[in-house]
Amino acid sequence: MIRTSAETFADLPAEVEVRVHLWYEQKFGIPCPPHTSTETAIDSFAATTCCLGVRLEPDGRWRVYAPHGLSDVFRLVVLRPNPVLAPRAVYEAKAARRRRQWPEPTVLGWPAP
């Protein structure tokens, strides 16, 4: 599925990440239940600012799904932790990548226990 998706989306000017619950626990150390919709997958993203989806409905209207709103996006808060599923190490690795790619915006730290 991952290889097929990579080939399918290779021409897009964006990174498309496919999440597969079958390998999640092996890679990240915690189980991930199968997602029943795109929205449930988005809800589990490691950063709330990444919890954003847009799709074109069959009736031609655009649908935006942003369960945490869009204020962080517009304030250039690139990452805010979403400890619903992803472990701290996953978020911190993502934060380090983002800081290297785009140092100007704000990346928030993992919440204190």
Structure confidence by residue, pLDDT tens digits, 57-111? 889 999 999 999 999 888 888 788 887 777 888 888 888 888 888 777 778 888 8
40 falls within a domain: yes
54 falls within a domain: yes
Both structure tokens of 76:
């250039």
77 falls within a domain: yes
Mean pLDDT over each residue of the chain, to the nearest integer? 84
The total of structural domains in the chain comes to 1
81 falls within a domain: yes
pLDDT of residue 71: 92
Query: 38: domain range?
Result: 2-107
pLDDT of residue 61: 95
CA separation, residue 12 to residues 26, 57, 100 (Å): 29, 20, 22
10 falls within a domain: yes
Q: Convert 25-63 to b/e letters by CB count within 10 Å (16 or more is b).
A: eeeeeeebeeeeeeeebbbbbbbbbbbbeeeeeeeeeee
Q: Which residue has the tokens 């204020």?
A: 71
Residues of the chain with pLDDT > 70: what percent? 97
Is residue 23 over pLDDT 70? yes
Please give the distance of CA 113 from its chain centroid, rounded to a whole number. 23
The size of the chain, in residues, is 113
State the pLDDT confidence band at 19, using cuts at 50, 70 and 90: low
Instruction: Report pTM.
Output: 0.66
